[in-house]
Amino acid sequence: MSVAGVAFAKGSFIMTAHFPNTSGVMSELVDFTPRRSIYRSATKRAFDITFVLAVSVFVLPIVLLLAAIIMLDGSSPFYVQTRVGKGGRSFKMVKLRSMVGGADRELTDYLAANPTAAEEWRTTQKLRRDPRITAIGSIIRRMSLDELPQFWNVLMGDMSVVGPRPMLPNQRELYAGQAYYALRPGVTGLWQVGDRNNTSFAARARFDSDYYQMVSFFSDMRIILRTVRVMMRGTGC
């Protein structure tokens, strides 16, 4: 491992180092110092439950309507996938289905036949032009509506309204930080409302570390308001 630099941010000491992960991509290891926060450790959970219950009167009808449309398209409406939660524990995350059946197999075949797409996936863990996404899936993903069922995961305590982007188990080796494991993953977060389409997967660690340091009721409300603007612009993916 070769140390790349040392910096000070908001009064905290941050050390960055570069290392090759198992995929061969150079990643930036983001170190952070755990710190106490009453909001993060206690009040944030109360905020999550209150927020979800308050918006459920609007969210639930939208989810049911979209589920019916997806069913008319010939697919099961919900997709359950294993994700990594706080402390590295696994949980089942619920989303509205936006991809074709057998998506994993189709992705493997597509990447094998398209080296450029394979490199994009290796770096970002997503594709700008993803052949697995259905017509209705493309619409709901642009507006991030496929994420709405995750409010159920928030109620169950697996997720938070605001937090890091939920990570797949096989992405652990690509993640270059520690802050993710100290937080509940979020329905939305700094990465989701930031430069989400132009960053590598490993760069998410910087977003997570920054959020860990700044987390408060007011920062969560700002991120939620920014999320609404992102949804209205339809810039999700």
Q: Among 216, 155, 151, 160, which Cα is nearest to 189's?
A: 160
The strand pair at 186-188 and 160-162 is best described as parallel
Which residues 6+ apart lie within 8 Å of 204 measured at CB? 164, 165, 175, 177, 180, 191
Q: Among 90, 48, 45, which Cα is nearest to 181's?
A: 90
| pLDDT tens digits for range 25-82 | 334 566 667 888 899 988 999 999 999 999 999 999 999 999 999 998 777 899 899 9
Residue 2's pLDDT band (cuts 50, 70, 90) = very low
| pLDDT tens digits for range 220-231 | 999 999 999 888
Classified as helix, coil or strand, 183 is: coil
Calculate mean pLDDT across residues 136-150.
90
* pLDDT value, residue 3: 32
Q: Taking every pair of C-alpha atoms in the chain, what is the biggest distance, in angstroms? A: 55
Residue 198's pLDDT band (cuts 50, 70, 90) = low
Assign 3-state DSSP to the chain and report helix, strand, coil percentages, each to 5.
50, 20, 30
d(CA 134, CA 226): 27
pLDDT exceeding 70 applies to what percent of the chain?
Answer: 84
Output DSSP code: residue 133.
B
* pLDDT value, residue 20: 37
Burial bucket for residue 152 (CB in 10 Å: 0-12, 13-18, 19+): middle
Alpha helices in 80-216 (DSSP H): 103-113, 115-124, 135-142, 150-156, 190-193, 204-214
Q: Among 82, 78, 48, which Cα is nearest to 63's?
A: 78
